[in-house]
Structure 1
Amino acid sequence: MLVQINTDKNIEGYSRMNDFFSGEIKKELDRFDSKVTRVEVHLGDENSDKFGTNDKRCLIEVRVEGKNPIAVTTHSNTIEKAFYEGVVKIKRSLDNTLEKMRGH
């Protein structure tokens, strides 16, 4: 499974942060490894330097063999919280999608 981390111009994409988020994705989605070919994570700050609540965004897009991409978006006060909320949502979406595939 290939994992790609992208940040907007308002988030500094340090390699340490990229390594951490990539490792977390691989760990959390490990059971889907045989079906998932690529995961893209897009992190952003929608208000830039201004303060705002729930202005950090995490979009996670997963490519599953033989299916259209699955994407979820979450917003929170911190990048980390938005990321983990996104992981929970994408795992639920993957479970539902793969369950439907098994039924056919």
Structure 2
Amino acid sequence: MQIQVNTDHKIPGGEKLADYVTADLENSLSRFGGWLTRVEVHLSEDGGGKPEDKKCVIEARPGGKEPVAVTHHASTVDGAYAGAAHKLVRVLDSRHSRAHDHKGSDSIRHMSGPEDPEQVGVLGDETADLIEAERNREAT
């Protein structure tokens, strides 16, 4: 997974900030490592004198899927990054589980059979008896 950090000229920190963001994202996104190909982080200052004028946009690119982008505004660069990173993990977790866990669990085709050999066929015999009784009732 490739991580790229971009900042505008108003954001202080430079290489130290980029190293921190890269290390933090590698740690928090490690479980998606084989699924994600690239992550881009954009830190900027909106200006305008608003209290929450720092902005972080993180775009993640899952292999073979549409890119996912999240945005967070805060009064500090750290707050903007932390909020966006938290949102990204939630979104990726949701998308990853949808892509890999259909309806949240295995299908019945993947379930193992009964563990007790005496239980094998018990349900089948009862079901067969019910079907036969239903047929006899319909015939009369």
State if a TM-score over 0.5 links the two structures.
yes
More strand by share: 1
Structure 1 unaligned segments of length 5 or more: list them.
none
- TM-score norm. by structure 1 comes to 0.91
Secondary structure of 1:89's match? helix
Partner of 1:39: 39
Secondary structure of 2:78's match? helix
Partner of 1:85: 83
Partner of 2:28: 28
What is the RMSD computed on CA atoms of the aligned residues? 1.5
Structure exhibiting the larger radius of gyration computed from Cα positions:
2
CA distance in 1, matches of 2:86, 2:66: 20
Q: CA deviation digits over 1:58-96, x for unaligned, max 9?
A: 000000011000000000010101101111100010011
Structure-to-structure mapping, 1:62-77, within 5 angstroms: 62-77=60-75
CA distance in 2, matches of 1:44, 1:18: 13
CA distance in 1, matches of 2:77, 2:40: 15
Letter in 2 for 1:35: W
CA distance in 1, matches of 2:70, 2:49: 24
CA distance in 1, matches of 2:37, 2:4: 11
CA distance in 1, matches of 2:42, 2:14: 14
Partner of 1:95: 93
More helix by share: 2
CA distance in 2, matches of 1:13, 1:4: 15
Secondary structure of 2:55's match? strand
Number of equivalent positions: 102
Structure 2 unaligned segments of length 5 or more: list them.
104-140
| Percent pairwise identity | 36
Shift of 1:39: 0.4
Partner of 1:4: 4
Runs (4 or more) in structure 1 with deviation over 4 Å come to: none
Once the two structures are overlaid, the 10-residue window that deviates more, 36-45 or 7-16, is 7-16
